[in-house]
Every structure is written in C-alpha cells, then in structure tokens.
Amino acid sequence: MSASRLDPLASEPGADTEKTCPDRGLKTEDRELRSDRPLSGIRVLDLSRMLTGDYAGMLLGDMGADVIKIEEIDGGDPLRKMPPHFVCGESAYFLSINRNKRSVTLNLKHADGRKVFHELVRHADVVFDNFRPGVLEKLGADWKTLSQLNPRIISCTISSFGEVGPYRELPAFDLTIQALAGAMSVTGEPGRVPVRLGIPMGDLAGSMFAVYSISAALVERQRTGTGRRIEVALLDCLISMLNYMAQYYFTGGQVSGPIGSGHMSVVPYGAFATKDRPITVAIFVEKFWHSLCEVVGLPGMADDPRFHDAAARLKNRDECNRLLQEKFLEKTQDEWIKALWAKEIPSAPILSLDQVFEDPQVLAREMVVNVEHPRCGTLKMVGDPVKLTPKPAPGISPPPMLGQHTAEVLRGLLGYDDARIAELKSKGVVS
C-alpha cells in the first residue's frame, strides 16, 4: 500500500510537511485517561531505538507507564526514516511501535545534556536502553552512575549478545540472532535453504523478556526499596524459546531440521492445499483424529494400523499426509473450514494480512484501533493484546513527533523556565 493511500496528506521524508499537513492541534496527551492501568505512576526513561527497544517501550506504555523516549537531537530514532511507507512524513514502521510515549530530544554527548539526563533519572523508576556494551559508560548512563543518582532505579539493557562472551562487541540484527539461535535451522521446507521467521522473533523475544523482567523488578522493589540491574541478550531469549526442540536434543540427541508447517511430534499437523486456498489442520488429541477421518470421508483410516495412534502416524508421516492431501483437494477452503469447525477440529484458513484485519474474531478482540495523530489524522493501528478487567478507560496517545514533548517534560518534571530551555537549545543540548 502506498503512503498516499494511507493518508491523503502523506509525503516522503524531507518534503515540506508543514505545508501539506495541517497542524491538528499539538497538545499534551491526556495521560489521566491511562491512570487505571497497572503501570500507571511508573516513569521510564527510554534511551533505546530500533525495533527491539521501541517495541518494549510501547508494551510498557500500553500498560500505563509514562515512557519518555529520549532521542538524539539530529534525526532521532533511525526508524523515523525507515521506508517504504510514510504518513505526513512519519514512517509507518516507526508509527507501528511507538504509541503511548513522549519524545524528548537530548544530546547525551554534551556535558549539559548528561546533567539534564541525570536530573531526569532522579525522577524516574526505570532506565531502559539497547546499546552495545561500553556505550552506557560513555553517556553517563551506566548502572554504577544511575544507582548512585537514584538507589531505586531499575536499569535494563537489551543487547544482541550480552555483556560477557566472545561475541559481546559484534553488531547484530534479527536475522543474525535467528541464525545463531538455531531458529533458522528449523524454519523452511526440507531440502531447501533455511529461512528466517516472517516476523522478527529475535527482536520481539528480547522486547518481551525485557518487559517481563522490568515488571518483576518493580514488584521486587516494593519489597526491598532498592532497584536492580537487568541485562537481556537477544540470543539468550531466542534460544530459550527452542524449548522442546532443545530438550529433544539433550534427551535423545535429535538435531531438528526444517519441517515446513509440520510438527516434529504430531501428524497430521500443517498446511494442506484445497481446491482454491490452503488450510491448516492440527491434530494433537486422538479424538480429533477420529473426527477428521470422518469429515474427510476416510473413516477406516482412523483405525488403520499405520495411523491408529500418534506414534504410528509419526512413523508414517508422508503416507498419512498424502492421503489427506488427496481428499482436501476435492473441496474449497470455505467448504472444508465449515465442515471442520462444525466438528470442532482444530483448523484454520491461512489468511493474508488484508483478511486478518477484517476477520470478525480480530475485530471483536479490538485488535484494530483508531488513533488520532496531531498531524496525520486518524491512524489505524494494531490493538493491545492484553485485556484487563476492570476495563481501563480508552486512551491511546499517538506515536510522538521528534522532540514533541521536550519543553513539556523539562518544564513539568524539572521545573525549567523558558530562559533555561532556550539556553539549552542554543548550546545544542535539546532541539
């Protein structure tokens, strides 16, 4: 989808967006609307950038934390310029993972910038980053410095490989992590070059483990009164998700390989072609196997010695799948899904993204939401997967523009007046 279809006022970065995008009223987000969420009252200084940091910060913001995204004064988060789609000069990639945050520009390489940051630390609960080892010390944001400024602070760093080990200095991205963690070795079709997971699971795993550990540390601080240092490595996180595949290796020496959409322990399990569009079937429980055989018109297959239980089907995987595939080609996707769901057999159509966001279950779960952006108008975004009871008041603040809240935070949190802010601007500390 082109940027112009996303918004009639869309433009590429570098264009004069002020002329094409009307000011829709920049204003302080109504954070009071988010005061009934679990992390309300928690302030996070987010030094991170790119997907891993941005997604983790968004998860904290969705739970009600006041996430202050501290960005470089010259361009900010590199994802702000990520192609191919832009809405009013704002990258669609950046917009997707930066809601419920405030943006403050601050030059941490300047001595005055570090002083401002240290003042903010005294008013914060969490400092979060995804820098490589050694960077925090240069910026005055290392654990020793932070804990002296604020003994209650929780410091969390996500890095590719962590602070120890021979790879600690190496740069890496999601593809690198998926390769080293073994995830790529089990993804794809047998006999072909391994492929990465379609979604950036290495980055996302690190984000989720970071948020989980930060939340746990906040609970611990209630008991101890002191903060904690947390270190999360993307490689560690993705390896932890190998779970049963790792145990199969430890226990039986089995080195798993790619198996397409199939499963190492379960047959039938995977994608099947139909007369038009593919479906998936997942038979983990024997009762579903008998029902499946009836639905596809092969009732005798259920008790066939080659297929009568999970172990037999695993041994005769290819023949089992071949017989089912022949039957599935006789009807359309819609016909099969109707018949399979009528018997409560675990199955689903394989939906494209345009179908996903029109699916009645997805819409019922409010996984498509409208967010009002001050320059871009109404944006559709993926909703929050966590549902709370009692249900919080609605309130999603849009992804911030670069430095949108600099003056607001410096005035409201640190008590700076206009003269002090102007002085910092003149020195290149804020923009």
Kindly tell me if the per-residue pLDDT of 235 is higher than 90. yes
3-state secondary structure of 378: strand
Q: Residue 44 pairs with which residues in a beta bridge?
A: 67, 126
Report CA torsion sign: 138, 143, 145, 146: positive
Let me know if domain 3-241+386-426 sits in CATH 3.40.50.970: no
Q: Report the alpha-carbon distance of residue 50 to residue 291 in Å, rounded.
A: 47
User: Looking at 7, 54, 77, 203, which residue is catalytic?
Assistant: 203
Q: Which pLDDT does position 21 carry in this prediction?
A: 40
Q: Which pLDDT does position 24 carry in this prediction?
A: 35
Kindly tell me if the per-residue pLDDT of 266 is higher than 90. yes
Class of domain 269-356: alpha beta
Q: Domain map of the chain by residue range?
A: 3-241+386-426, 269-356
Q: Report the alpha-carbon distance of residue 220 to residue 118 in Å, rounded.
A: 24
Q: Is 3-241+386-426's fold the same as 269-356's? A: no
Q: Report the alpha-carbon distance of residue 6 to residue 97 in Å, rounded.
A: 17
The mean per-residue pLDDT over the stretch 252-276 comes to 96
Global confidence as pTM: 0.90
User: What single-letter DSSP state applies at residue 142?
Assistant: S
Q: For residue 203, indicate whether it is catalytic.
A: yes
Q: Strand 269-272: give its sheet, edge to edge.
A: 269-272, 279-282, 347-349
Q: Check if the beta carbon of residue 108 is closer than 8 Å to that of residue 141.
A: yes
How does pLDDT run across 268-287, given as a tens digit for each residue? 999 999 999 999 999 999 99
Six-digit token pair at 190?
């047998």
Six-digit token pair at 386?
């966590």
Work out whether strand 43-46 and strand 126-129 pair parallel, antiparallel, or are unpaired.
parallel
Is the pLDDT higher at 99 or at 32? 99
